């Protein structure tokens, strides 16, 4: 019988791509601060299946980034 493995001794298989699936929420989390990091964290947690409560003490989101007119190093508008 012929061995169906490649030269390294591993069997040949077609690679599979992991696909994210939407599932029921697994819990809830509160993210304090709606700056750039807080917003990205909230998005990542929501995509992972958590209910997310994003809390900000001021009337606007964006943190310090929203106060900058131009950003380094490209001088792009921060808004």
The answer to the question of residue 38 being in a domain is yes
- pTM for this structure? 0.57
Position 12 scores a pLDDT of: 57
The total number of structural domains that make up the chain: 1
15-69: per-residue pLDDT in tens? 555 555 666 668 999 999 999 999 999 999 999 999 999 999 999 888 888 777 7
- The mean per-residue pLDDT over the stretch 10-19 comes to 55
40: containing domain:
28-77
Going by C-beta distance under 8 Å and a sequence separation of 6 or more, which residues neighbour residue 6?
12
Instruction: Classify residue 10: in a domain, yes or no.
Output: no
Residue 32, in any domain of the structure:
yes
- For 5, residues 6+ apart whose C-beta sits below 8 A from its C-beta are 11, 12
Q: Looking at the domain assignment, is residue 23 inside a domain?
A: no
12 domain residue, yes or no: no
pLDDT at 66: 76
Q: Tell me, what DSSP letter sits at residue 10?
A: P
pLDDT at 68: 74
Asked whether residue 46 is assigned to any structural domain, the reply reads yes
Q: What pLDDT does 39 receive?
A: 95
């Amino acid at each position: 019988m012929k061995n169906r493995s490649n030269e390294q001794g591993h069997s040949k298989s077609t690679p599979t791509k992991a696909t994210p699936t939407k599932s029921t929420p697994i819990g809830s989390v509160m993210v304090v601060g709606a700056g750039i990091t807080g917003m990205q964290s909230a998005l990542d947690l929501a995509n992972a299946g958590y209910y997310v409560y994003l809390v900000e003490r001021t009337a606007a989101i964006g943190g310090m980034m929203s106060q900058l007119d131009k950003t380094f190093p490209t001088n792009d508008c921060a808004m």
